[in-house]
Structures are given as structure tokens and as C-alpha cells.
Amino acid sequence: MATLFKELAELCESLEKLTERIPKISMISAFLRKLHKEEIAPATRLIIGKIFPDWSSYTLDVSWGTIVKIIQDITRASPRELLDAFNRTGDPGAMVEILMKSKKILRQATLFEEPLTILNVYQTLESIAKIKGSGSRERKEAVIKSLLSRASPIEAKYLVKVILGEMRHGVSEGLMEEAIAKAADVSLELVERAHMFLGDIGEVAYIALVEGAKGLEKVSLQLFRPLKPMLAQQAENVQEALKEHGGRSAFEYKFDGARVQIHMKESEVKIFSRRLTDVTKSLPDVVELVRRELRAREVVVEGEVIAIGENGKPLPFQHLMRRFRRIRDIYRMVREIPVKLYLFDILYLDGELLIDKPYVERREILAKIAGNIPLTPRVITDDPKEAEKFLEKAIREGHEGLMAKKLDSKYTPGIRGKLWLKIKPVLTTLDLVIVAAEWGYGRRKNWLSDYYLAARDEKTGEFLIVGKTFKGLTDEEFEEMTKRLLNLKIGEKGRVVYVQPKIVVEVAFNEIQKSPKYKSGYALRFARIIKIRDDKGPEEANTIQEIEELYKKQFLAKAKKEKL
């Protein structure tokens, strides 16, 4: 008998109430074990709030406005009732559940329909993503309305959470990997490695539970399926990096550009962003360069694309993002915003996986096959003064700072560790998510221009506010941001518009303070936006736990000064 979607919704409801990691893992693993094999991959994705793998080109493309319209049609709720329900919880899914419960009489006609199962929910969501062309919005709306009309309040709550990508029960991909390992009785290392190559937690769960350890061991890199990028932690200065790396490190320029992963098989080339999105069509000039220069039959390399001005100096990041967002009139943009590619790593070459080789060896291999494509400028040193001079040179040439890479480090996809460290002088910055905005005053009265900035809580997945700012954007950016935020609108109260947590911004600040004003317990002093990070998703935002660590470091430094 097929597993009901209500069982998955009840599992998510239970997970939302738990705070401890181990009970969550046990609960999920028990649920996975009882699924039919064809339900494993869809259920695993749905539990973490996903429908498709990150690298998939499919998206639902359904706005919050569409969901609101459907819910109002189903429940006959007034705008006031809708806003009141949202204000009670601050959660779109919970808002829908409240409205559905209060409007039971309108749902009596659906009582005799077949109950929703995991498979028919998943297949319906897949079908929505495939609706294209004229009238697609209306057709998608009709399918979602039919689905939600058949749902119980708790099912509707988690359907909306999945559709909007708003699951807040603290189940990360890392926790799901542990649950899969426990359910299949295989090592976590095998699960992590398979996920690293496949980039699809659902497929990994299927292989683990159906084929076991032997199946996972067979998984390897697949061309044109991107690996999650290896990530870096922040270091305060070159001295900290050298100490962390045992006294000697490789320092590379850190560009103000977009990281790309390039896959090539003979003449076929695909380029993926750091979010694993296929951006090949936006970069035809880079595709041609790669075809012409890379001396390999099959290869996966990583690099950084920067926009350059007439003098050859780097243009601000926002110019580059115009290239990445463009899907029409590409060749005009190629002329208007030329780009330059620098390579910095190689993961695969002509049948050989290279991620387990040390960094220095990978770099040597990369140099041999790069042709005339430049590698990121680099020095290897144990001398802090030499590293400082190199940092100054990078800044002078218009770049962000340096990356420090441990000489014997393996490439660890998707993991943020200290093997790679980023060094950005002067400004302390955080990647935060906009969760609400206020209408401005005076010259800014027609723009949403005072932004509520939030960090992610690792334990719950909730985005917690750590400050507000109206500083940093140009008039053009205020106007564009207003349009984007209104498309993500969840509710409005007075001058404040609440939005889905989708847009990431890089924020500079002077200090972190304790604050009873915010649920997070912290507030940023003199926050200002320095960059809109369209290359990052909300799951990549800094966490409350990281902010807490930064606060402690800053407090210790101040305590020392006070003793002098």
C-alpha cells in the first residue's frame, strides 16, 4: 500500500518540535526504512523541502502571490484574516494550516476523494514544473489549487512549505545524510561521498537503502552533473592562515567575481555557477575559450569569472551578475560586459578523479592543461611579510583579498573547513538574507529601502533578524530590489512588507552587539550592504552560531585592550 503524504507531513511536524539532532536522525531513519523503494527518493527530497536536485533545470516558478490567491479561493479568507494568520506564526505554511482549519465547511466536498500519497504529490509537483508556454501561470495555478483542495490542513501546511522552499524544521542535508546512513546501516562516509558526486540526496537515499554499501561504492563523478564547491572559512589575517596551515600556505588572489565549475567532454562544454545552476548560455565567450584552450578530452575544472572594464581592471560584482542573469540578447551583453576567466582547480581529467590528490599536485596538473587560460595569481610562502605584500598587491589591482590553501589539502566538495581560508582586509562582512523591508521616506518613498537582515539558525533552519539597514544600494538597485521583494511578498503590516527569505546580501558592519530587541540575541552596528549576492542561496547565508563566534572573538579582543 502506498505511503500517505499525511504521514510525511506528520513526520515533519514532529521534527519541527524537536531540537536535538540524534532523535531527529532516528525518527527520519525509521520513516525511510518503511517506504517502498519507488517512494524513497521523492520522500527524502520532500522531507528537506526540495523537489529537484540543485543542479536540475526544473523549477516550480510559483510565487507567494499565486499561493495567496489559491488559499483565498479555497478558504474564502479575507486579506485581513490572511495577514492575522501570518502574523500569529510568521510562517507561510502555518498560516495556511490555520486558515484551512478555520474553514472546514468549505472542504466537505473533498472528503470522498482518494487521499494524497507521497508519490502522487511528488508527481504532481513535477508536472507543474513541466508546464511551459502561453497560459502556463493559469494552468499551474489550477493544478496547485486542485492539490491543495484535496489536502488536510497539516498536508496543506507542508505542501506550501515545499512549494515555497520554506521548510523550517532544522533538517539539513548533513542531518539527512546521517539519517540515510543509519537507515541503510552503511557508513556516513560512503553516504557523504555518494552525495558529493551525485548532488541529489534522494538518489543517494535510494541507492543506500536498495543497493547498500556496494551500490554506494560504485558511485563516482558524472560529467555534466556538478559537484558542490569546496568552501572556505574566514581568517582575520595572513598570520592566522599561516598558523592554521602549519606555517606555510599557498596564497591566491580572491576575485570579486563569480565562481564557476566547467565540465568538458570533447567539444561539449557546460558551465555551472556556485549554486550548481547551468549558466552556459550566458557565457558563450567562456565556452569558446574553454573549447579552444583546454588540453583535455574530458575534464572538470574550477575557476572565477570577473567582469572587466576598458582599462582591464575588474568591474564591480553587480555588472557581472547582469551577464549571469541574461538569457536573451547574449552577444550584445558579451560586448558590453566582457569577462575574463581564471582557473584555480581541477577535479577530473580524462577518466581520473583528482579530488583526493593534494592541492599542489592538482595545481600542477591544471597548469599543464590550461593552455592560454590564466591561473589565479599565487605565491607559496612561510613569510608573513611576503604574504602581506601579495595581499596589498591584490587589493591595489581591484580584487577582494586572498585565499589561503593548505598545500596538502584534498578537495572536499560541499564542506566548509579550514583547509581553505579567505582573507578580506578592512571590512568584516556577513552574508545575510532579507526577510522584510520597510517603505522609505522622502526621496525613497516609492521604494522598499530599509531591509531587515537575518542569519540562519543551524538548529532550526529559521532565519533570525540581526539588524536593519537602508545603506549601500544605488537608486537603480533600490528600484530593482523593490520589484524583486514585492514578488516575494508574504504579508504586509503598516509600512513593513514581509518576504520569503530568498535574497542574499553581503553586509559590512562595525561591531556585533548583544540585543534583547531581536530573537537572535544579536544586532549589527552600522550595517550597510556592499553587494547583492545573486550567486548565493539562502542556505549559504551565515548562521547565528557563526555570529555568536564572531561576537566572542570581538569581546575577547576588547577585554584584552581594557586591561592595558
Q: What is the pLDDT of residues 460-503, one digit of tens each?
A: 778 899 988 888 888 888 888 999 999 888 878 888 888 888 89
What's the pLDDT score for residue 105? Answer: 40
What's the pLDDT score for residue 427? Answer: 57
Q: pLDDT for 298-308, tens place per residue?
A: 999 999 999 88
Element (H, E) at 545: helix 544-563
- Please give the class, per CATH, of domain 50-164: mainly alpha
What's the pLDDT score for residue 39? Answer: 97
What's the pLDDT score for residue 493? Answer: 80
Q: How far is CA 397 from CA 86, 313, 377, 391, in A?
A: 49, 7, 12, 10
| Neighbouring-strand partners of residue 346 | 301
* From 140, 161, 254, 340, active-site residue: 254
CA angle 340, 388, 245 (to 5 degrees): 90
| Neighbouring-strand partners of residue 82 | none
Q: pLDDT for 106-148, tens place per residue?
A: 444 445 568 999 999 999 999 999 998 888 889 999 999 999 9
| Sequential DSSP letters for 478-518 | HHHHHHHHHHTEEEEETTEEEE-S--EEEEEESEEEE-SSS
Q: Each residue of 523-554: b (16+ CB within 10 Å) or e? A: bbeebbbbbbbbbbbbbbbbebebbeebbeee
Residue at 239: amino acid letter: Q
What's the pLDDT score for residue 11? Answer: 97
Q: What is the mean pLDDT of residues 142-161?
A: 93
What's the pLDDT score for residue 426? Answer: 56
Q: Is 357 labeled as catalytic in the residue annotation?
A: no
How far apart are the C-alpha atoms of 275 and 538, rounded to whole Å? 11
Q: How far is CA 59 from CA 26, 148, 287, 427, 474, in A?
A: 31, 19, 25, 36, 30
Q: What is the mean pLDDT of residues 396-414?
A: 92
Closest among 429, 515, 457, 412 to 189, alpha carbons compared: 412
pLDDT band at 326 (very low <50, low <70, confident <90, very high): low
Residues ≥6 apart with Cβ < 8 Å to 319: 307, 337
What's the pLDDT score for residue 560? Answer: 40
- Least-confidence region, from 57-66, 74-83, 96-105, 405-414: 96-105
Q: pLDDT for 444-454, tens place per residue?
A: 878 898 899 99
Q: pLDDT for 84-105, tens place per residue?
A: 887 777 788 888 999 888 765 4
What's the pLDDT score for residue 109? Answer: 45
Closest among 205, 268, 229, 290 to 33, alpha carbons compared: 205
| Neighbouring-strand partners of residue 492 | 497
Domain ranges of the chain: 50-164, 231-423, 428-560
Place of cell 539558525: 457
Evaluate whether 231-423 and 428-560 have a shared fold: no
Element (H, E) at 560: helix 544-563
**Cell numbers that stand for 555 in this block:** 569581546
pLDDT band at 63 (very low <50, low <70, confident <90, very high): confident
Whether 563 has a pLDDT exceeding 70, the answer reads no
Residue 442 falls in which region: left (phi positive, over 0), alpha (psi -120 to 50) or beta: left
How far apart are the C-alpha atoms of 239 and 254, rounded to whole Å? 17
Element (H, E) at 430: strand 428-439
Q: How far is CA 334 from CA 197, 281, 311, 402, 441, in A?
A: 32, 11, 16, 28, 38
Whether 30 has a pLDDT exceeding 60, the answer reads yes
Q: pLDDT for 501-521, tens place per residue?
A: 889 999 988 788 888 888 888
Give the chain's radius of gyration (CA, Å): 24
CATH placement of domain 428-560 = 2.40.50.140
Q: pLDDT for 260-282, tens place per residue?
A: 999 999 999 999 998 888 999 99
Whether 164 has a pLDDT exceeding 70, the answer reads yes
What's the pLDDT score for residue 122? Answer: 97
| Sequential DSSP letters for 69-96 | HHHHHHH---HHHHHHHHHHHS-HHHHH
Q: What architecture (CATH level 2) is domain 231-423?
A: 2-Layer Sandwich (3.30)
What's the pLDDT score for residue 333? Answer: 82
**Cell numbers that stand for 146 in this block:** 486542485
Backbone angles phi, psi at 153, to 5 degrees: -55, -45
Q: What is the mean pLDDT of residues 390-414?
A: 92
Q: Which residue has the higher pLDDT, 311 or 542?
A: 542
Where helices occur in 76-200 by DSSP H, the ranges are: 79-89, 92-102, 118-129, 136-149, 153-164, 173-184, 188-198
What's the pLDDT score for residue 103? Answer: 62
| Sequential DSSP letters for 339-354 | EEEEEEEEEEETTEE-
Whether 561 has a pLDDT exceeding 70, the answer reads no
Q: pLDDT for 199-236, tens place per residue?
A: 899 999 999 999 999 999 999 999 999 998 999 988 88
Q: What is the mean pLDDT of residues 315-332?
A: 76
Please tell me whether residue 27 adopts helix, strand or coil conformation: helix
Q: How far is CA 470 from CA 77, 444, 463, 528, in A?
A: 34, 10, 19, 7
Kindly report the three-state secondary structure assignment for every residue of 361-376: HHHHHHHHHCCCCCEC
378 CB-contact burial (10 Å; exposed 0-12 / middle 13-18 / buried 19+): middle
How far apart are the C-alpha atoms of 319 and 315, rounded to whole Å? 7
Closest among 98, 109, 148, 154 to 128, alpha carbons compared: 148
For the range 125-132, what are the long-range contacts, defined as Cβ-Cβ under 8 Å and sequence gap of 24 or more? Answer: 125/51, 125/60, 125/162, 125/163, 126/51, 126/58, 128/60, 128/62, 129/51, 129/52, 129/58, 129/59, 129/60, 129/61, 130/58
What's the pLDDT score for residue 554? Answer: 64
443 CB-contact burial (10 Å; exposed 0-12 / middle 13-18 / buried 19+): exposed
How far apart are the C-alpha atoms of 383 and 386, rounded to whole Å? 5
Under DSSP, the state recorded for 227 is P
Whether 328 has a pLDDT exceeding 80, the answer reads no
